[in-house]
Structure 1
Amino acid sequence: MNDFLTTDVLIIGCGIAGCTAALTLADAGVPVTVITRARRPEESNTYYAQGGIIYQGFQDSPDLLAEDILRAGAGHCNPRAVQILAQEGAGAVRRILLERVGVQFDQEADGALSLALEGGHSLPRIIHATDATGKAIELALLHAVDRHPNVTLLTGHTAVDLLTPSHHGLNRLAVYEPRSCVGAYVLNQEQGRILRILAKKTVLASGGLGQIFLRTTNPPGARGDGLAMAYRAGVRIINAEFVQFHPTAFYRQNAARFLISEAVRGAGARLVDGQGRPFMEKYDPAWKDLAPRDVVARSIHREMLENDVPNVFLDLRSYIPREEILAHFPTIHARCLEYGVDITRDLVPVVPAAHYFCGGIWVDEWGLTTCRHLYAVGEVACTGVHGANRLASTSLLEGLVWGERAARHILGELPGSRLHDPADIPPWRDDGTEPADPALISQDMSAIKHIMWNYVGLVRTTPRLARALRDLRQLDIEIEQFYRTSRINDALIGLRNAVRAALVVATAAWQNRRSMGCHYRE
């Protein structure tokens, strides 16, 4: 028997954006249900963010920060959203992260917050917790959320689809009403059954889509779930061609890719070839190794092609004192040592990897989508802050600012809102009779990753994109048939969402013939 739950606000995802929204609402007395497909709630892109979050530097100002963001965004940023981030960011960091949940950021000897410089920033303004800033933020927020009496946190629960009365409701006249969201169908992984969770307001905070690419810094859950669900619900999506590739992911054949933070280059490390020769001055004489990420990633890509090598290197040992490396980058040091690389003595092999989705679900300045009662915050959303290329350390700040803004807007809307009639939303019908074959899921995911990496990666051409669209459309047909005839599970849901997210990105890349930021067409 399919059960249903009701809640004032349903939040899908619990990274910085979802947790901030949940905590803001819960503190105001609103009952909130937060779901995550992960068994460990901290498993999110936020948790793996290394470098830091923008605060405020000496002789800094909102206008100066806005200028840096606009420059990195290749002239494609939403000026209003940039101003909101620049003006509200520092206050949100102080109010929520420092005072409300007490994140322990690094400090100088005099007790002042330690400020770091990162690529594209005109001065040091990044606060950090060594090289595990996201982990410190995520655990502090989750600690507050998990213990809050107004929050129900459900782990191991995968959102299947958004509930829209015009599509799922029994009242067929709902098709004449404006499109609205009343909750979600959600899979309880442990029990294998699907719940109807009905909510007055729903917030998508499901993160990014790096896992649709062969090489990525993202965790397994970043497969485009929120984007795909929004697409199926008819929600407007913009800027989907802008996928930022982080220049420096650790490279070992058949090993997991993990991020080597931009803060390493901010501290003085240089990108070098196999002979230890720096090369970034060839590509960007002004900014060199601290050029915007799209420039650095394409420069590395070009070096690899021209020299026919699988990777380039980061040189910390020649430019940063050993004691400083160990003090500031202990997590990176430990991870590299697992693969026999000592960053205080060895060159570190690196390659670009899919890192951050600059596009996403169109939202206004309060996180509202084009679907009534549906909000989107964090990486799944597109406020326009990042334009065509994200400035380093803006993503955590955007999630924080819009997580709080969405919650504030919801607080103003809830008094006049009511739950949709549960009788109008039927229980989930699972027509699949066969177990979902894990070998088929693995093969199809591998095909998606290779198509996206080879044809919709760092450098895009018309023939590559045409091939990607043909292959992905055929895969989409086969996967949808597979989905309809198999018993549903988390991996099958993820596969269906991944191919849809890949098609959204590839189609947007095909339609935009102009190179901009991290969308580069030859």
Structure 2
Amino acid sequence: MKTDILIIGSGLAGCAAALAAAKQGAEVTLLTRSPHPEESSTFWAQGGIIYQGVDDSPQKLVADIVAAGAGLSSPEAASLVSREGPRLVKDILIDELGVPFDESSKDSTRWDLTAEAAHSLPRILHQKDRTGSAIQRAFIEKMASYPRVKLLCGATAVDLLTISHHSVEPLDVYKPPTCIGAYVLDQASGEIFPILAKETILATGGLGRVFLHTTNPAGTRGDGIAMAYRAGARCINMQYVQFHPTTFFHPSGRFLISEAMRGEGARLVDGKGREFMNDYHPDGSLAPRDVVARGIHQMMLESGEPCAHLDISHKPADQVRERFPGIYAHCLKCGIDMTKESIPVVPAAHYSCGGVAVDEWGRSNLHRLRAVGEVACSGLHGANRLASTSLLECLVWGTRAGEQTAAFIARGEEYYFPQIAPWRYEREPVDPALIAQDWLSIQQTMWNYVGLVRSEKRLNRAHEILRELHLEILRFYEKAEVTDAMVGLRNGIQTALAILLAAMECRQSLGCHYRID
């Protein structure tokens, strides 16, 4: 199977790239391991996307991005997203796709712009507390009108194809490192087949599932990071994993409680009702995410309390239900009426600020491979992501990557495709109990030793555990029948090790990476 552009991942970054390329007539194959294209991290994004506030400017947004990123944000990346982002939001999301963002009742502005932590003014567009799903649905509907966009669901990328690794011609090892597509598993049939592509774009999202507690959906196993790592792509800033400070603390599992709630006046309190965040930062409950997450963590350690509480019950009940219908419904289903009582919350792994190193067009160091969205590291987030920059980054880099790859292909350049080695099948049945136990070992090790607070002793202990587990999983994988679960486990341990090794090398505390030693 051949295509002009293979895009792995159907969230906002992948969809933006696909739509931009399709507009220029490129043939696009959009791949997702989920049974439905809507299932992605984008779909679960609640808070919103940065637009442009009253008296706002690109310079003000750059300043906020750099401040939140602990000074490690790339000035070029911050400048690019601040210039291009609001324009693309208007041109694509508002004018072209008609995403139904919430409008204001005030005469001074059309949109209901909200504030979020570490922003100097209100500039966040939203659609209630379901912004991501509104954007995702609009993109999927629009792409259906382009016959040259082929959508493959229930298809798992197993490995990136490179000329040096997979060509049957031995002399190809001397060619420059080049990606030519991917091996893909059809989950229904178990068949593994190559998709050859002139250009490949990774848009696989995050890696939160390597931690015990996360806001991320089931597929965020670090698949893109692991595939890129094995193929020889440069991955940077992997130690900077952002922990969202407020996830619903309930036996049924974690559920993201949007930062927009604090932007709308919700207060973080301890079990006695005291606003404890003022002890850790002058901005209190609106401090940057990493500060708030560690503040909650420290309060829990000192008090022995199992969680903190987020209280918005002082706001009018109708206003709370109107602004946060999804969160309200979920909490009510679990027995918490947030218009009358506080929500129990704890931190959880939320966003990877690092990833595959890319330039302003999403290009990696591996020829013909690009990465966009959370799997990439454009330098925008530095050591800590500013709230609501993630969807904007997806839109900007996804659009630019799609436009440039389609333009290169339209020029009629020659693309070399070698003969690919056939897949060698193994048939040993996979015991789900082994996969479940290995995942538990990864997640508990990462949470306890490579989580919110790190130290040399903790990281060394994690290294011993994960290194041995990595060898065991590789031996397991070599003989096992390849399934989506087996692919995920192999990628999960590789991603966990990448985070760990980066954390071991970074000896100073910065942003999300906090060391007590």
Q: Please name the residue that 2:507 is paired with.
A: 513
Q: Please name the residue that 2:311 is paired with.
A: 315
For structure 2, list consecutive stretches of 5 or more residues without a partner in the other structure. Answer: none
Whole-Å separation in 2 of the counterparts to 1:172 and 1:426:
11
Q: Please name the residue that 1:262 is paired with.
A: 259
- Secondary structure (helix, strand or coil) at the match of 2:39 reads coil
Whole-Å separation in 2 of the counterparts to 1:315 and 1:32:
46
- Secondary structure (helix, strand or coil) at the match of 1:187 reads strand
Whole-Å separation in 2 of the counterparts to 1:433 and 1:206:
27
- Secondary structure (helix, strand or coil) at the match of 1:488 reads coil
Write the letter of the residue equivalent to 1:376: A
- Secondary structure (helix, strand or coil) at the match of 1:201 reads strand
Q: Please name the residue that 1:441 is paired with.
A: 435
Q: How does 1:338-487 map to 2 (within 5 A)?
A: 338-414=333-409, 415-421=411-417, 424-430=419-425, 432-487=426-481
Whole-Å separation in 2 of the counterparts to 1:413 and 1:364:
16
> Given the alignment of the two structures, is residue 190 of structure 1 paired with residue 184 of structure 2, yes or no?
no
Write the letter of the residue equivalent to 2:186: N
Q: Please name the residue that 1:337 is paired with.
A: 332
Write the letter of the residue equivalent to 2:162: T
> Given the alignment of the two structures, is residue 245 of structure 1 paired with residue 243 of structure 2, yes or no?
yes
Write the letter of the residue equivalent to 1:283: Y
Q: How does 1:16-55 map to 2 (within 5 A)?
A: 16-55=12-51
> Given the alignment of the two structures, is residue 502 of structure 1 paired with residue 496 of structure 2, yes or no?
yes
Whole-Å separation in 1 of the counterparts to 2:424 and 2:143:
33
Q: Please name the residue that 1:276 is paired with.
A: 273
Whole-Å separation in 1 of the counterparts to 2:32 and 2:461:
34
Whole-Å separation in 2 of the counterparts to 1:427 and 1:93:
43
User: Over aligned residue pairs, what C-alpha RMSD do you find?
Assistant: 0.9
Conserved 8 A contact 2:183-2:193: yes
Give the TM-score normalised by the residue count of structure 2: 0.98
Conserved 8 A contact 2:178-2:367: yes
Shift of 1:418: 3.8
Identify the match of residue 296 of structure 1 among 292, 298, 307.
Answer: 292
Write the letter of the residue equivalent to 2:207: L
Percent identity between matched residues is: 55
Write the letter of the residue equivalent to 2:343: V
Give the TM-score normalised by the residue count of structure 1: 0.97
Query: How big is each residue's C-alpha offset from its partner over 1:337-378, in whole Å with a ceiling of 9 and x where there is no partner?
Result: 111011101110000000000000000111000000000000
Whole-Å separation in 2 of the counterparts to 1:36 and 1:295:
35
Conserved 8 A contact 2:364-2:370: yes
- Secondary structure (helix, strand or coil) at the match of 1:160 reads strand
For structure 1, list consecutive stretches of 5 or more residues without a partner in the other structure. Answer: none
Identify the match of residue 149 of structure 1 among 144, 147, 150.
Answer: 147
Shift of 1:419: 4.5
Conserved 8 A contact 1:165-1:174: yes
- Secondary structure (helix, strand or coil) at the match of 1:484 reads helix
Q: How does 1:75-154 map to 2 (within 5 A)?
A: 75-109=71-105, 110=107, 112-154=110-152
Query: How big is each residue's C-alpha offset from its partner over 1:444-472, in whole Å with a ceiling of 9 and x where there is no partner?
Result: 01110000000000000110000111111
Write the letter of the residue equivalent to 1:501: T
> Given the alignment of the two structures, is residue 61 of structure 1 paired with residue 57 of structure 2, yes or no?
yes
Whole-Å separation in 2 of the counterparts to 1:162 and 1:123:
42
Identify the match of residue 226 of structure 1 among 206, 209, 224.
Answer: 224
Conserved 8 A contact 2:241-2:351: yes
Whole-Å separation in 1 of the counterparts to 2:28 and 2:95:
22
Write the letter of the residue equivalent to 1:261: S
Write the letter of the residue equivalent to 1:394: T
Whole-Å separation in 1 of the counterparts to 2:414 and 2:473:
37
